[in-house]
């Protein structure tokens, strides 16, 4: 029996190391942004707190991606060090905020670095914690979803839903590439609520179509684009 245990342990170690190696192989980035008033719906037990000053779409993460999925936690020997992004904190609080109440300010950033940043670091452009967060903040400004929608007359409104195709068209025309929009149903609304979106980028950050993403996207004719004023009213 002991012999079988050791054989199993060695096999598990071998398979685990193989998965770890494969998980580091990726092809492009998903730049995920979320709409804070709606993203709060995904925070367990309604413990969501949108920091003061946040009024636009915010970064969820910059995720190395392949057709197999998202490689994760690629380098456990590269821990998150808050002091390395100290100069970025003021901007991160607005453009990449932690909306989870009763958690440390750095907890969300720590998670994203450990899970995704250590995978992105195989590319020279992202081979430090500072570079990963700094470059993500630049992408947020390059792809300001709030402004793109505003320019086409699409504003947050909890009394009147928007046509999903109109939102998709506005983004596609401006970005010249397809994106993915995600929604969530809520009992307080008769239509899905727009919560987040993906933009896809090459390793050198050229925008590409998000055709390979197979995750379930927004469905239906209309969606709600919630205003900040109601961000705490429907939990």
116 catalytic? Reply is yes
- In the block, residue with structure tokens 């950050």: 205
Q: Select which of 67, 116, 162, 212 is catalytic.
A: 116
Q: Select which of 45, 67, 105, 112 is catalytic.
A: 112
| CB 35, CB 225: distance < 8 Å | yes
DSSP code per residue over 8-61? HHHHHHHHHHHHHHHHT---EEEEEEE-HHHHGGGSGGG-B-PPTT--S-EEEE
Residue 142 φ then ψ, to 5°: -65, -35
Q: Among candidates 123, 118, 127, which has minimal Cα distance to 205?
A: 123
Q: Among candidates 26, 65, 57, 43, which has minimal Cα distance to 171?
A: 57
3-state secondary structure of 159: strand
b/e sequence 98-109, b meaning 16+ C-beta within 10 Å = bbbeeeeebebb
Largest alpha-carbon pair distance within the chain?
70
60 catalytic? Reply is yes
112 catalytic? Reply is yes
Q: Among candidates 180, 59, 197, 38, which has minimal Cα distance to 117?
A: 59
Q: Point out which residues pair with 64 in neighbouring strands.
A: 29
Q: Select which of 52, 60, 174, 186 is catalytic.
A: 60
List residues with catalytic annotation: 60, 112, 116
């Amino acid at each position: 029996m002991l012999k079988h245990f050791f054989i199993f342990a060695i096999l598990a170690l071998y398979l685990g190391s193989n998965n770890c190696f494969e998980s580091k192989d990726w092809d492009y980035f998903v730049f995920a942004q979320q709409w804070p008033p709606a993203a709060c719906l995904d925070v367990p037990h309604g413990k969501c707190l949108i920091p003061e000053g946040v009024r636009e779409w915010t970064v969820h993460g910059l995720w190395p991606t392949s057709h197999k999925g998202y490689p994760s936690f690629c380098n456990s020997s590269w821990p998150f060090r808050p002091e390395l992004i100290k100069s970025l904190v003021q901007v991160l609080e607005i453009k990449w905020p932690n909306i989870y109440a009763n958690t440390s300010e750095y907890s969300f950033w720590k998670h994203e670095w450990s899970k995704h940043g250590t995978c992105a670091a195989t590319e020279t452009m992202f081979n430090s914690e500072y570079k990963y967060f700094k470059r993500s903040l630049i992408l947020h400004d390059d792809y300001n979803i709030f402004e793109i929608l505003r320019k086409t007359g699409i504003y947050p409104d909890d009394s009147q839903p928007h046509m999903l195709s109109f939102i998709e068209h506005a983004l596609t025309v401006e970005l010249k590439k397809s994106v993915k929009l995600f929604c969530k149903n809520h009992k307080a609304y008769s239509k899905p609520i727009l919560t987040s979106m993906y933009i896809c980028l090459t390793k050198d950050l050229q925008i590409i179509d998000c055709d390979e993403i197979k995750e379930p996207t927004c469905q239906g004719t209309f969606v709600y684009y919630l205003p900040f004023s109601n961000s705490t009213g429907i939990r």
